[in-house]
Chain A
Amino acid sequence: MTITVTVERTIEHLDRGPLTRDEMAQTVARDIPDGSFVNLGIGQPTQVGDHLSPASGIVLHTENGMLGMGPAAVGEQIDTDLTNAGKVPVTELPGASYFHHADSFAMMRGGHLDVCVLGAFQVSQHGDLANWHTGAPDAIPAVGGAMDLAIGAKDVFVMMSLFTKDGAPKLVTECTYPLTGLACVSRVYTELATFLVGAGGVTVIETFGTTVDELAGRLDLELKRLS
């Protein structure tokens, strides 16, 4: 994992939170270093792009074969030959490049991509990721590029709600859903807190509208603080 933590100690923000989805996207965007090559997953992670400043020099990769992806296309900009991985029409920025699928995924596995941001069903305390299949008998499995991204990018950030609609934690001791990748996630961004995960277990970077102790109880996990 290549990105150093930018805060020195755990911060409990009791004056704000839980974060909205847009605020979560903003938090992720803030932590992406200038000049990074970044892949934003389908769905919620796509919103991170709205908060990246052009001055940052961050270049967006889309696995269907493009670097230098611009914002979503509107009106006359829409071109059916130019979409993102979610098949949404997008635009190209000056300096963009196109390449075929084998090259696109070689960029990931070859360690050239700095950060990817993915959604998740579950993340384990060790950074295992489950985000492609619920394992339900009637579900049609669809993996897309998730497994390649999970093990390919130097840093994998997950952006998700901390609990399911039924209140079950999604940051867990061990994943119960089918895995996407082993020990691949470095950070987890949620509406209630941001975490580091990995070999050292779970460390809270900051909380929003709650405390570390309160979260530890709700998650039934040992949570460390930055000191």
Chain B
Amino acid sequence: MTLVAESALEAVDGIKDGSTVLVGGFGMAGMPVALIDALIEQGATDLEVVSNNAGNGDTGLAALLAAGRVRKVVCSFPRQSDSYVFDELYRAGKIELEVVPQGNLAERMRAAGAGIGAFFCPTGVGTPLAEGKETRTIDGLDYVLELPIHGDVALIGAHAGDPLGNLVYRKTARNFGPVMATAAATTIAQVTHVVPIGELDPEAVVTPGIYVDRIVRVGQETS
């Protein structure tokens, strides 16, 4: 059963200290800012955050980092023109960083959501990011063994959802949302619109409700 939460704070209830939190978004597109703000208020700390970037500006993920709640960031691209919050924490030795090639980040979460124990991937062969990892030559090509990334919680942004948890996204704000939704024990989606059951075209549903535990409407629009 999917919970349609009354508020973002209700939606993030129960997230424990030490959790691995998958945070959707590519830059600010698809970033679940309202859920992150609620998580800051909720108070969970010592978090491991898996996200493509390590925060932009002062809002969203950057605000969670600035609040001192994050022990480790797993991401593909921390360094950006506006990632000053992360940069300062990293240079001060106050946060751990694991850099993962972007496709591996997505595929490792896909594997987690699909029950795949590990996979051999050609990305990163011969580079520092493959050091210490098992490699294998298959049909003459070299591959690196990559392990799944499971989340305790996924926080994602979507365009519309129904009370069964079915989700559709908007343009490139889709990015990591559908993959993260499958990879976490509890998936929480903030949506711009909550629509009645039956209103989403079943052919167009991107994330089926089976993956979604809680949704909450955010923003000014009425459903």
Contact = CB atoms under 8 A, between A and B. Distances in A.
A105 B124 CA distance: 13
Interface string A163-185: 00000000000000011111000
Interface residues of B, number: 48
A50 B216 CA distance: 41
Given A81-B170, A83-B172, A144 B102 contact: yes
Contacts of A142: 76-80, 99
Interface of B is mostly: mixed
A151 B175 contact: no
Contacts of A66: 171-172
Interface in A85-124: 87, 92, 98-102, 104-106, 108-109
A222 interface: no
B190 interface: no
A105 B107 contact: yes
B169 A179 contact: no
Given A66-B172, A81-B172, A145 B101 contact: yes
B126 A181 contact: yes
Contacts of A108: 103
Given A80-B173, A101-B175, 11 more contacts: A81-B29, A83-B26, A87-B29, A101-B102, A143-B76, A147-B101, A147-B103, A148-B101, A178-B127, A179-B127, A181-B126
21 contacts: A64-B26, A65-B26, A82-B171, A82-B173, A100-B177, A101-B103, A105-B102, A133-B128, A140-B78, A141-B78, A141-B79, A143-B129, A144-B101, A145-B76, A145-B103, A146-B101, A147-B103, A148-B123, A178-B128, A179-B127, A181-B127
Interface of A: 62-66, 79-83, 87, 92, 98-102, 104-106, 108-109, 128, 133, 138, 140-148, 151-152, 178-182
